Structure 1
Amino acid sequence: MAVRTTLGIDIGTSSSKGVLVDGDGVIVATAVRAHDVSRPHSGWVEMDASIWWDEFVDIARELCSAAPEAEVAAVGVSGMGPCVLLADEHDDPVRPAILYGVDTRATAQIERITRELGADEITRVGGSLLTSQSAGPKIAWVAETEPAAWDRARRLFMPASWLARKLTGEYVLDHQSASQSSPLYDIEREAWHAQWWERYAAPLEPPRLGWAGDLAGRVTADAAAETGLAEGTPVTIGTIDAWTEAVSVDAHGSGDLMLMYGTTMFLVATGDETLRTPSMWTTAGAFPGSRNLAGGLSTSGALTAWLKGLTGADYPELLAAAEAAGPGARGLLMLPYFAGERTPIQDPDARGVVAGLTVEHGRGELYRAALEATAFGVRHNVETMRAAGADIRRIVAVGGGTQGQLWLQIVSDVTGLAQQVPETTIGASFGAAYLAAAAIGEAPGSIAAWNPIAATITPHTEHAARYDELYGQYLRLYAGTREVVHELAAAQRLS
């Protein structure tokens, strides 16, 4: 007897993940494909969009083969973002996709467009200042620096919308992703800003807008032949992975903060009001009527992976050594800005700093300092969100990093906040599968029925004083090294 399932696939920074989920929220099968980004120059982070579709096809075929009794009733898509993938009229990419805020190439365009439109007007219309997270300046960068590619460009895609296009033939983008395409989107009108689109994005055709859980269309005959999915299967519009992760753990209600532990760290606070602050990102939510104040660290899991490769140790060894190092890492303090930083400092020229290092320190202290550095970054973001008016009453953790108890505990100890950890933390692919089930009326009213809270991490109050002291030093360390670090970043761009 066939088991009705939904397929959720997410295209992430370091891997693509897929799940088949039945009507009770039970994961029937999973699949992963690892990949790498390209860094052709300092500050550039790109990816060949063919990876997105090829891995979708591989994962879909693997999952369907692993569970031949499963009938895929609907497909949910998700992906990192906001990205800029420009394609011609035949949907052939004109260049590799430019990734989200970790790509910092468009600094000159950010400055120029801000001068032309005015910071206050950009914030009034779009909700946020232009930063390395904004898609608009990256589109302008292509127009100004790669005229041959720009002459061919006709459409704008992000990973989820690219998958929807390949599956259904529909050209559509969700409101949440659009709201991170500043200055091209009007957040209060929930529509493209026609005048600014014409000024900075012509001759691109604006994609039709919808919400993450809306249906983009149905699987075409050509896509069915490639993927093994049945022709006519419904496909959702989808959205950016962090927002799909929030859906996966039921952390998209007013007062919720989703904390995503991944290659980068992402925070999404949800409310009913459009909050504006220069150091965070104001966006539309995944669902109609919701608004978010969001932030992100440019490195978190990427930093721990870097240390793993540098030391040659495996994660269990590093975690054991880090736990033995104790709070404060025996006098080490790190700034985690190894790829610049997004929020709240919005400094693409920030760089990593390790202070207090001696020949007596080892890999355990370095790994502990890296975990604590990301925790200080989370605290900085949470305090900035609250200062802007965010009402944060509940924190839910999600992502691959939640498998490590020590990292979770350090974040709670540094912030003084409890974190709820759900039963399933696989992330955006699970949320995408839920949205697909909801779109065809086959999901419970809340994903909490699929994914209940399994544990709560509470702060160790005995560490509060030490971490308060270190957090103050963390803020001072950035201020004290910023000028020198910016000079080094300028030299790196010339190398």
Structure 2
Amino acid sequence: MSSYYLLGVDIGTYSSKGVVVKETGEVVASHIVEHNLDMPKPGYYEHDPEKVWWNDFLQICHTLLYKYEIDPRKIIGIGISTISPAIVPIDENGRALRPAILYGIDTRATKEISELSQLTGVKLTSQSAAPKILWIKRNEPEIWSKTRWILNGAGYINFKLTNKVTIDIYDALLFVPLFDLNTLKWSEEIASFVIPTNKLPLPMWSCDITGYVTSEAAQVTGLLAGTPVITGTADAAAEAVSAGLSELGDMMIMYGSSTFFITKVAQLRDVPNFWSSPFLEKGSYVVTGGTATAGSLTRWFRDQFGYPELEAERSGKGNAYALLAGLAETSTVGGNGLIILPYFAGERTPLHDPEAKGVIFGLTLRHTRADIYRAILESVGYSIRHNIEELKKEGINIQRILAVGGGTQNTVWMQIISDIANIIQQIPEKQIGASYGDAFMAGVGVGLFSTVKEVTKWVKISRAITPNIENYYRYEHYYQIFKELYKNTVHLMHQIG
């Protein structure tokens, strides 16, 4: 048995997961906690940081330490990742003043996005954190007056563990233009308009040790006081580590509630339709992007129209999503002539349109649930192809695509996407997720590994999804309509509140 363990915990949109890993890559224990996503108003998406983030972390620690009898003295490093960006104001005592405002699915700050974009010349989207901070300042003055710090998700958990106020540089980049890409520091010029820099956390590299578990945190978590905690990062970045992203030209596609892409590049790039940034360590760079929806669409369809599949699942006759995948196979390529725009929560890259809306186009009396569901799966494929094409136009060389996340369990969906985009998707053997990457990043932080790249030697590919060229050509016609459909309806989308 290994002498050392590493703890990784990831807080996601609908669940949190923790793993205890040996330095050899072997997972010795894991636990998942489900939670809800709050939507107090249309376009507003929130988590209660205490009842969701911290409570999930406590449940994970207690289960791993006591149910699986993990000796906390053998845990030599802790890594945390969370959905990103997710911002929460806290007071001087560390109490969260309001629910956390979540990432690109939350579109409340449309006005602030436009204003900051015009002020700075930086193309911002609903994925940007700075407009959401400005929204709190303008719309919730009582909360703003009590705000001592604005934290991100990983920063909140780390503060509860260590009393340190930090953010990793990779996640801080989503605070642009508040964060300066060149100096890797907060911008005093923009801060004067949005928030004083003394209310923002200290930027650090993701694998740096941010602090140590305090005696107070040890009492409630069961962890050993003094255990090192790294700065941590966004879930997608940690997932990229778990997927084996290591070489230039490697691209990870993370299929979760939304999709997120990370492509490793040699240097910072000027890519207007995407986000270019340093990665987890000095001297590493990536270009990133993502769609606003993916798994959230399949969940929406299941909850609204999947009663037969949900009933079958409750009766022990299969998983609802698996049954819906089978339903999609009964339709045809192109959803029997049905095209869907998947912009049910606005869209991130490459459109940068928080006011975009979903469209179901081509409905006739002959269409079935199967057609609609297949068209939903295909809509995500069209969006991914759109992003890949735009990346290539901006000079990004993609050599290998690694697919991770819950969506990869749906082989029908993965095949549809490969067919539409004409791409080979390599799927790693271990689909543990961001928590696995968190654990290994903690290993880098405490010196077990020299770099993140060294960790990727433990990653093995289990299968590859290759495109059906015949289907690729059949999809070409529908893809062109997909792109034209947005262009011809966007002015109407923006008229709908």
Same fold (TM over 0.5): yes
Q: CA deviation at 1:69?
A: 4.5
Structure 1 gaps, min length 5:
123-128, 491-495
Change (3 A) 1:8 1:352: same
Contact 2:241/2:456 (CA < 8 Å) preserved in 1?
A: no
Deviations 1:419-454 (A, max 9, x none): 111111221111001111222233486233322111
Tell me which residue corresponds to 1:345: 351
Contact 1:180/1:283 (CA < 8 Å) preserved in 2?
A: no
Structure 1 distance, partners of 2:84, 2:103, is: 5
Q: CA deviation at 1:360?
A: 2.6
Tell me which residue corresponds to 1:49: 49
- Aligned counterpart for 2:413 among listed residues 407, 413, 418: 407
* Code of the aligned partner of 1:433: A
Contact 1:3/1:69 (CA < 8 Å) preserved in 2?
A: no
* Code of the aligned partner of 1:96: P
Q: CA deviation at 1:2?
A: 7.0
Tell me which residue corresponds to 1:58: 59
Q: CA deviation at 1:476?
A: 0.9
Tell me which residue corresponds to 2:469: 461
- Aligned counterpart for 1:98 among listed residues 80, 97, 101: 101
Equivalences for residues 200-279 of structure 1 within 5 A: 200-202=194-196, 204-279=198-273
Tell me which residue corresponds to 2:315: none
Tell me which residue corresponds to 1:177: 171
Tell me which residue corresponds to 1:326: 332
Moved over 4 A (4+): none
Tell me which residue corresponds to 2:458: 450
Equivalences for residues 10-409 of structure 1 within 5 A: 10-50=10-50, 51-70=52-71, 71-117=74-120, 119=121, 122=122, 129-202=123-196, 204-310=198-304, 311-312=306-307, 313=309, 314-409=320-415
Q: CA deviation at 1:336?
A: 0.6
Q: CA deviation at 1:294?
A: 1.3
Structure 1 distance, partners of 2:439, 2:473, is: 43
Structure 1 distance, partners of 2:2, 2:462, is: 30
Structure 1 distance, partners of 2:249, 2:182, is: 20
Tell me which residue corresponds to 2:313: none
Structure 2 distance, partners of 1:213, 1:458, is: 35
**3-state SS, counterpart of residue 20 of structure 1:** strand
Change (3 A) 1:404 1:3: farther
Contact 1:84/1:156 (CA < 8 Å) preserved in 2?
A: yes
Deviations 1:233-276 (A, max 9, x none): 11110011011111111114321111001011111112122222
Structure 2 distance, partners of 1:259, 1:149, is: 37
Equivalences for residues 467-482 of structure 1 within 5 A: 467-482=475-490
TM-score (structure 2 length as normaliser):
0.93
Structure 1 distance, partners of 2:2, 2:239, is: 28
**3-state SS, counterpart of residue 494 of structure 2:** helix
**3-state SS, counterpart of residue 133 of structure 2:** helix
What percentage of aligned pairs have identical amino acids?
Answer: 39
Structure 1 distance, partners of 2:14, 2:247, is: 28
Deviations 1:337-375 (A, max 9, x none): 111111111111111111122233222211211111001
TM-score (structure 1 length as normaliser):
0.94
Structure 2 distance, partners of 1:344, 1:443, is: 36
* Code of the aligned partner of 1:181: F
* Deviating more after overlay: 254-263 vs 271-280: 271-280
* Deviating more after overlay: 381-390 vs 218-227: 381-390
Q: CA deviation at 1:175?
A: 0.5
Contact 1:156/1:204 (CA < 8 Å) preserved in 2?
A: no
TM-align CA RMSD: 1.6
Structure 2 distance, partners of 1:485, 1:200, is: 29
Contact 1:134/1:181 (CA < 8 Å) preserved in 2?
A: yes
Tell me which residue corresponds to 1:126: none
**Aligned pairs, number:** 480
Structure 1 distance, partners of 2:126, 2:433, is: 25
**3-state SS, counterpart of residue 259 of structure 1:** strand
